[in-house]
Structure 1
């Protein structure tokens, strides 16, 4: 099994002002979002990653995924972020998190909290560096209006998302994971005050996204869900001011312009893609067949490293692996 020499990796990167790795004369990003699972059990109205066609295809085996991960490491990927769909629905997600850590990557997941119980979190100590949770509002009434809840819940007009995720935060903190919070701002929650909830969660990093329309992916989203850049900026600045006395929480806002062309992504079939022009552009062959470097060469014109840097894409994600602490007994509130 290939493993990264982290000391050499840092030395090679220190002289590269673009913060990209160079493999066989091709610059590749240091961070990758792997949409490893196409299926999702939530019903978010604004979702930009429904992957309906991919849901009909067979999932990768554990071995195939591990081979891809090793290839990503050889290509220069330093941080892998497991996303979806809902990544926790994939049967091999734990294998892949462990293997990514083995080859020397910083590991991260962004989830709605499905199956993220105490056993999973305990098993991931020392393997998963960053646990990201998607929470869009300070109340589940707003979550229900946005579709942020289990499909059965949303059909019945309610959501219990906030209660579930608050329980996960408590357990994750006890185990020492780095915590990320992701929030999508739409017209439904643009006037919401998240400051008390964010104080309670106390994430290391709070990513706030302006709801993003992607051609061919979330065309079903009602146009009235959209907000303009000034509304988004007001939301971000209002919360930065409210949380100014909590410096350990890094608040990062990303408007639509900052999100386009600044993410390197790979789908569940290991096709690499970007979104520079407001729609997804995919490699013609998967990483599983041709390797990341060749697949990236087909789409890298849709990625701007300078804009990746400007939006704060390169942050201090290197952290010591979590230290296992005794579980504290108590309620989920």
Structure 2
């Protein structure tokens, strides 16, 4: 939604303020693969971010992208709630009823191998709902060359995903914890430490989110409340408006600081 020069200006202001990591998410960022590549390159080469990452569903990522921009990327994260097609369809991950689970798992395994070849750290993000709360995804995770498996409790956000459609998907903290325990037990001993859980409490104000208009988003009250655009008022003013919408202590508590640079040696 913003011009490239405005996007670059936002990145510049964050880096000037001391930010060390920038993550491009969505929606699906690879829908704009060329612009995404340009921003990833600028983040690393022009602004010197120590860590640059992307979150994608992996469905339209092409190997050629890595040939051009892979050297500027530290982490690729892929959203994978399940390898069962019905779960993914109901989660809105894919609108094709003929979607086969083997296709998704193979796509993710290919991306994992590409990242391994280029020294890019690879991680998986999983959202747990009533539909997949009893699933054992750890068996699939064990097959991947992965540095981190982030598991989220489904979070209701007013005016975005809330309402009658979401209610049947919500799970309790106890149900979320049981999912964590079952899957942790099935992880290979060498992978036990990669599982990172994020409850609703940990998620709500432990991220600094920038939307497509360059506004910071306060999610701490259960809805996304925007500040003025960084382009109009500057980062410092926008952060003042955000106020308690970001909690540094909660950021550390959820394990937000970890090995987030690829090995360039």
Length-normalised TM-score, structure 1: 0.73
Residue deviations 1:83-130, cap 9 Å, x none? 001111125111100011121111000001143111012222220000
Alpha-carbon distance in structure 1 between the residues aligned to 2:137 and 2:59:
22
Verify the 8 A CA contact 2:127 2:151 in the aligned structure 1.
yes
The alpha-carbon deviation at position 157 of structure 1 amounts to 5.8
Length-normalised TM-score, structure 2: 0.91
Alpha-carbon distance in structure 2 between the residues aligned to 1:318 and 1:119:
22
Q: Rate the CA distance shift 1:171–1:244 in 2: closer, same or farther, 3 A.
A: closer
Alpha-carbon distance in structure 2 between the residues aligned to 1:228 and 1:183:
16
Alpha-carbon distance in structure 2 between the residues aligned to 1:104 and 1:138:
37
Verify the 8 A CA contact 1:262 1:305 in the aligned structure 2.
yes
The alpha-carbon deviation at position 184 of structure 1 amounts to 0.3
1:119 to 64, 72, 81: 64
Q: Rate the CA distance shift 1:319–1:73 in 2: closer, same or farther, 3 A.
A: same
Gaps of 5+ in 1: 1-58, 324-333
Taking the TM superposition and a 5 Å limit, the aligned residue runs for 1:169-184 are: 169-184=112-127
Counterpart of 1:94 in structure 2 is 37
The alpha-carbon deviation at position 78 of structure 1 amounts to 0.8
2:224 to 280, 284, 287: 280
Counterpart of 1:295 in structure 2 is 238
Alpha-carbon distance in structure 2 between the residues aligned to 1:266 and 1:188:
30
Taking the TM superposition and a 5 Å limit, the aligned residue runs for 1:40-79 are: 59-79=1-21
Q: Which has the higher helix share?
A: 2
Verify the 8 A CA contact 2:116 2:145 in the aligned structure 1.
no
The alpha-carbon deviation at position 287 of structure 1 amounts to 1.2
The alpha-carbon deviation at position 65 of structure 1 amounts to 1.5
Alpha-carbon distance in structure 2 between the residues aligned to 1:176 and 1:248:
21
Matched, 1:234 2:178: yes
Matched, 1:200 2:200: no
Verify the 8 A CA contact 1:132 1:182 in the aligned structure 2.
yes
Counterpart of 2:261 in structure 1 is 318
Verify the 8 A CA contact 1:117 1:168 in the aligned structure 2.
no
Taking the TM superposition and a 5 Å limit, the aligned residue runs for 1:201-280 are: 201-220=144-163, 221-247=165-191, 250-280=194-224
Verify the 8 A CA contact 1:88 1:114 in the aligned structure 2.
no
2:251 to 291, 308, 322: 308
Verify the 8 A CA contact 1:202 1:249 in the aligned structure 2.
no
The alpha-carbon deviation at position 239 of structure 1 amounts to 1.6
* CA RMSD of superposed structures (Å): 1.9
Verify the 8 A CA contact 1:184 1:209 in the aligned structure 2.
yes
What is the aligned residue count? 259
The alpha-carbon deviation at position 248 of structure 1 amounts to 7.2
The alpha-carbon deviation at position 196 of structure 1 amounts to 1.5
Gaps of 5+ in 2: none
Alpha-carbon distance in structure 1 between the residues aligned to 2:244 and 2:35:
32
Task: Choose 117-126 or 72-81, whichever is displaced more.
Answer: 117-126
Alpha-carbon distance in structure 1 between the residues aligned to 2:66 and 2:192:
23
